[in-house]
């Protein structure tokens, strides 16, 4: 008994020969949780170094952004009139888009910015784009708090389905942004044009989904095929789900006068929620997963060249 | 029983040196019929086995491919041809303080760097005091690393690296930075690691130091392995060979 167990121990003592520099991709990242957490903390520390307000800036920036849009669009362009609780409508979309922009933009630059590390020490490089989700989440929370505060003041009483919609929206955004971030961060190592292309995407993104306006303004203007393209943008259903979570419930408990005004709007433009939202949301989930798969494949393919190209 | 800790099986590594990247420059170059790329063979069919517990000195003049070979072993780069097998965890100092961030404190950097080199939180917690003692910078532990002198910085980086308990330890030209007392401590520590049965692969132009630490030496020239013997004759061989 003893003899067999020691005999069996010999070979297991010897670790297997492994090829260095081959990670398991995204699935491997979970094993590096500790490093991931440290990278997130580093990123936040570095971003707010020498700053008095520090993390408070993550409240100030979206607040100013919101005020600018609210004054320009809500008051000057009169969107307040047509949409009940327009500030809540506006901000719920902005929060979603900000989350997307931050993950996608930061992830794209993450590999190049960590060139020192990439060139000298092997670690799963997916960690850099992935860590940006956590960084973005740290900034998302204060925005969500402000948003919920504003929504509550506007009579927000969400049901479980509304909250689920919000959760799914943020999930879609995170998956899509990570997929695109993986793709563009890898390409960015070879061609720095990638980060400029991404900046363009981000600029267009805010306007190519119903963040600042309502869906029927698009629907009533564009031909059907363009509407289909518009809805195929995975961000469009995600933003609508954000609306369904934070804004739509505020339209359900209105005074008689407000109800009449809303009924007139609906008769004129169409319902508050876009048609076939659940279906488009499923499609959006599928598209985001495909983006993640493509991003991971390209990233894995290119990462062997990172160290020599940086 | 001795097993191979690192197996390098007919490895070649090519670098494509791209001269230019902007569209305008590319058009100009193409129109003049000049080649846009320049291929450089950094490693040419290198085959080598390194036994567990062996201390190997990688010798060669500048540009002979030593650092490239280390980077292939660490996994930072992948070979174009051939394959590499490594048993256990590789860590080391490819360059002083890689993975250190100037805006973080010494304490934070110990954790970040340790984790980067593959240590777990528990491992770092356990070895934290040893690392601080070894580095001798305990007074500045909560100072941001950018305020460190280069010597302090190096000592801390080295302390973290030698405490990572790797199976294969790579050292690239790092001991030149510390002062003499620290060098002595560092060399003693490296020898200790070897005695624990860890494999050491070292690159340095400080030949007397390599001779003190390593047993076996290989010489690379223009990416080819030209000599493999005990460290003494490898150094003699390198000194006799003319610089290309």
Tokens for A218, please give them.
Answer: 């698009």
* Chain B residues near any Cβ of chain A (below 8 Å): 1, 3-4, 7, 15, 21, 71-78, 83-88, 90, 94-95, 98-99, 101, 103-104, 108, 111-112, 115-118, 120-121, 167
- Distance from the Cα of B44 to chain A's closest Cα (Å) equals 17
Tokens for A141, please give them.
Answer: 């929370």
Interchain CB contact of A33 with B (< 8 Å): no
Predicted local distance difference test score (pLDDT) of residue A285: 96
Q: Check whether B19 has a pLDDT greater than 70.
A: no
* Among chain A residues, CA nearest to B99: A117
- Distance from the Cα of A38 to chain B's closest Cα (Å) equals 6
CA distance A98 to B211: 58
Interface contact flag, B86 A17, Cβ < 8 Å: yes
Residue B85, H or E segment: strand B81-87
State the average pLDDT for chain B: 84
Let me know how long chain B is. 244
Torsion of CA B163, B166, B172, B173, to 10 degrees: 30
Residue B153, H or E segment: helix B150-162
A34 contact residues in B (CB cutoff 8 A):
115, 120-121
Mean pLDDT of A193-207: 90
Domain ranges of chain A: 40-309
Backbone angles phi, psi at B18, to 5 degrees: -90, 130
- B82 burial (CB, 10 Å; 0-12 / 13-18 / 19+) is middle
Q: Report yes or no: A183 and A298 within 8 Å, Cβ to Cβ.
A: yes
Mean pLDDT of B208-213: 86
ipTM metric = 0.84
Interface contact flag, B90 A20, Cβ < 8 Å: yes
Segment A97-141, tens digit of pLDDT: 999 999 999 999 999 998 888 888 888 889 999 999 999 999 999
pLDDT band at A196 (very low <50, low <70, confident <90, very high): very high
- Distance from the Cα of A17 to chain B's closest Cα (Å) equals 4
Q: Report yes or no: B11 and B81 within 8 Å, Cβ to Cβ.
A: yes
| DSSP single-letter state for residue B177 | S
Q: Which residues of B110-135 are buried (b: 16+ CB within 10 A; e: fewer)?
A: bbbbbbbbbbeeebbeebbeebbebb
Please give the full DSSP string across chain A, using - where no structure is assigned: -HHHHHHHHHHHHSPPEE-TT---THHHHGGGHHHHHHHHHHHHHHHTTT-SSGGGHHHHHHHHHHHHHIIIIIIIS-HHHHSTTHHHHHHHHHHHHHHHHHHHHHHHHHHHHTHHHHHHS---TTHHHHHHHHHHHHHHHHHHHHHHHHHHHTT----HHHHHHHHHHHHHHHHHHHHHHHHHHHHHHH-THHHHHHHHHHHHHHHTTTTSS-HHHHHTTS-HHHHHHHHHSTHHHHHHHHIIIIIGGGGSS--HHHHHHHHHHHHHH--SSPTTHHHHHHHHHHHHHHHHHHHHHHHHHHGGGHHHH-
CA distance A207 to A201: 10
Mean pLDDT of A87-91: 90
Kindly state the percentage of chain A with pLDDT values over 70.
Answer: 95
Ordered structural domains, chain B, with CATH: 4-240 (3.40.50.300)
A46 contact residues in B (CB cutoff 8 A):
101, 103-104
Q: Check whether A4 has a pLDDT greater than 50.
A: no
Predicted local distance difference test score (pLDDT) of residue B34: 66
Tokens for B152, please give them.
Answer: 């302090």
Segment B212-239, tens digit of pLDDT: 888 899 998 888 888 888 888 888 888 8
- Distance from the Cα of B236 to chain A's closest Cα (Å) equals 31
Interface contact flag, B104 A34, Cβ < 8 Å: no
pLDDT band at A12 (very low <50, low <70, confident <90, very high): very low
- Distance from the Cα of B9 to chain A's closest Cα (Å) equals 11
Best of A120, A190, A302 to substitute, by most chain B Cβ atoms within 10 angstroms, is A120
Maximum average pLDDT range among A90-94, B4-8, B137-141, B147-151: A90-94
Interchain CB contact of A15 with B (< 8 Å): yes
Measured from the Cβ of residue A205, the count of other Cβ atoms closer than 10 Å reads 18
Least Cα distance to B109 among B124, B90, B89, B93 occurs for B124
Distances (CA, A) of A214 to A115, A248, B8, B20, B229: 42, 12, 62, 47, 76
């Amino acid at each position: 008994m003893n003899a067999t167990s020691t005999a069996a121990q010999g070979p297991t003592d010897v670790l297997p020969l492994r090829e260095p520099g081959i990670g398991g991709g995204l699935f491997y990242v979970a094993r590096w949780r500790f490093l991931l957490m440290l990278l997130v903390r580093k990123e936040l520390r570095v971003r707010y170094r020498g700053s008095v307000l520090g993390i408070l800036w993550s409240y100030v920036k979206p607040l100013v952004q919101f005020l600018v849009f609210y004054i320009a669009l809500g008051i000057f362009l009169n969107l307040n009139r047509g949409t009940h609780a327009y500030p809540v409508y506006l901000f719920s979309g902005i929060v979603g888009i900000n989350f997307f922009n931050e993950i996608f933009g930061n992830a794209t630059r993450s590999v190049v910015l960590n060139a020192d590390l990439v060139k000298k020490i092997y670690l799963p490089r997916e960690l850099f784009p992935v860590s940006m989700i956590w960084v973005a989440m740290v900034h998302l929370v204060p925005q969500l708090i402000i948003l919920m505060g504003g929504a509550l003041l506007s009579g927000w009483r969400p049901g479980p389905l509304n909250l689920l919609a919000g959760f799914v929206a943020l999930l879609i955004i995170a998956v899509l942004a990570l997929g695109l971030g993986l793709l563009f961060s890898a390409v960015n190592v070879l061609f720095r044009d990638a980060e400029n292309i991404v900046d363009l995407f981000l600029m267009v993104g805010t306007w190519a989904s119903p963040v600042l306006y309502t869906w029927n303004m698009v629907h009533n203007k564009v031909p059907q095929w363009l509407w289909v393209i518009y809805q195929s943008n995975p961000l469009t259903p995600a933003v609508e789900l954000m609306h369904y979570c934070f804004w739509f419930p505020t339209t359900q408990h209105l005074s008689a006068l407000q109800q009449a005004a809303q009924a007139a709007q609906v008769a004129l433009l169409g319902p508050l929620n876009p048609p076939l939202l659940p279906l488009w949301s499923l499609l959006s989930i599928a598209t985001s997963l495909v983006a993640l798969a493509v991003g991971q494949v390209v990233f894995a393919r290119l990462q062997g060249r990172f160290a020599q190209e940086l | 029983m001795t097993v191979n800790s690192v197996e390098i099986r007919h490895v070649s590594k090519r670098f494509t040196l791209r001269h230019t990247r902007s569209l305008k420059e590319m058009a100009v170059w193409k129109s003049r019929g000049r080649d846009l790329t320049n291929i450089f063979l950094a490693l040419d069919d290198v085959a080598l086995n390194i036994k567990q517990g062996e201390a190997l000195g990688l010798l060669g003049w500048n540009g002979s491919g030593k650092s490239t070979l280390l980077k292939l072993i660490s996994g930072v780069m992948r070979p174009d041809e051939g394959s590499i097998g490594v048993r256990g965890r590789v860590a080391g100092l490819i360059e002083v303080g890689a993975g250190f961030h100037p805006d973080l404190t010494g304490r934070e950097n110990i954790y970040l760097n340790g984790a980067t080199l593959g240590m777990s939180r528990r491992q770092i917690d356990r070895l934290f005091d040893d690392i601080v003692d070894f580095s001798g910078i305990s007074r500045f532990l909560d100072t941001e690393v950018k305020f460190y002198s280069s010597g302090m910085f190096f000592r801390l980086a080295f302390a973290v690296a030698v405490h990572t308990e790797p199976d294969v330890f790579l050292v690239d030209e790092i001991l030149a930075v510390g002062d003499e007392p620290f060098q002595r401590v560092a060399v003693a520590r490296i020898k200790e690691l070897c005695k624990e049965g860890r494999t050491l692969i070292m690159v340095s132009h400080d030949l007397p130091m390599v001779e003190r630490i390593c047993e076996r030496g290989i010489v690379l020239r223009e990416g080819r392995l030209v000599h493999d013997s005990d460290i003494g004759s490898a150094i003699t061989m390198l000194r006799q060979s003319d610089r290309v």
